[in-house]
Amino acid sequence: MPATPRFFAVNADDAGRAKAFYETVFGWTIRPWRPPNFYIVTVAGVETAALQERHELVPGQRTNAFRITFAVDNTHATLAAVQRSGGKVLMEPYQIEGGPEVAYLEDTEGNIIGIGRYGTPRTPEVPPTLRHFAINADDIARARSFYETVFGWVFTPWGPPNFYQVKNAGDGVTGALQQRRNLIPGTRATTFETTLEVADIRATLDTAARAGGTVVMSPHRIEGVGEIGYLQDTEGNLCGIAQYVPGLWA
């Protein structure tokens, strides 16, 4: 089965500050869970994400975006494919009590992502807000080969040169492979760009700014898709938001 988005984590230098930001901006329900300074984010009654104290899987490399975990059938087999395909294993599989078996890897482009073997199948409602992710690549062909081999994804050209869509990332979630861009000047993106769906993109960006965040890119329209913008939260994480055209996800 192709890898599918299952969970994402927000890294924070100040967990309390980040909690207040996301409760205000996105209306998430955030509650403590087991380790100190670790919270579970619930959206529409579904456990969607984690808010955690910042930690660096690669020493000296600061994570500046959400970290996505993809559901796979076998973490050990996936990590073996990662190494054969030129990636790196950052953390061997470990079992979370009452949760999935998870591991972390670095792809050929330096992006850090998680993989997990879950006891229950993914449903279209998990995660309910994550709609899109983008892989930044220095070498498009190299990255495409890596993800076709490791995750079984199918890529098709779309729109601009060197831009591909992932056609089988999961129900209700799309992915893209694109030439690397750094939306925050002087900061190299080290994880996938994530885009969350909102009802009113301008109101969300205004709220984010009032709550201590920064608008990195004002809304711009993509024909047939909707309006896309980017913000930086209080912890320095980049996050895309989108107000999609009605019926796009029907």
pLDDT, one tens digit per residue, over 75-122 is 999 999 999 999 999 999 999 887 889 999 999 999 999 999 987 765
Residue by residue, pLDDT tens for the chain (250 residues) are 788 888 899 999 999 999 999 999 999 999 998 778 899 998 878 888 999 998 878 788 888 889 999 999 999 999 999 999 999 999 999 998 878 899 999 999 999 999 999 877 655 554 558 889 999 999 999 999 999 999 999 999 998 889 999 987 876 788 999 999 888 888 888 899 999 999 999 999 999 999 999 999 999 999 989 999 999 999 999 999 999 998 776 5
- Domains of the chain by residue range: 4-244
Closest Cα to residue 69, out of 152, 145, 151? 151
Residues with Cβ < 8 Å from 32, sequence gap 6 or more?
38, 39, 40
Q: How far is CA 12 from the centre of its chain?
A: 15
What are the angstrom distances between the C-alpha of 166 and each of 57, 150, 171, 225, 249? 26, 14, 12, 16, 16
CA distance 30 to 46: 11
Closest Cα to residue 11, out of 56, 54, 61? 54
Q: What is the pTM of this model?
A: 0.91
Q: Which residues pair with 136 in a beta bridge?
A: 178
Length of the chain: 250
CA distance 93 to 130: 24
How many CA atoms lie less than 13 Å away from 87 in the CB half-sphere? 28
Helix, strand, coil % in the chain, rounded to nearest 5? 15, 40, 40
Joined tokens for residue 171 = 């129900």
Fold of the CATH domain 4-244: 2,3-Dihydroxybiphenyl 1,2-Dioxygenase; domain 1 (3.10.180)
pLDDT, residue 60, reads: 80
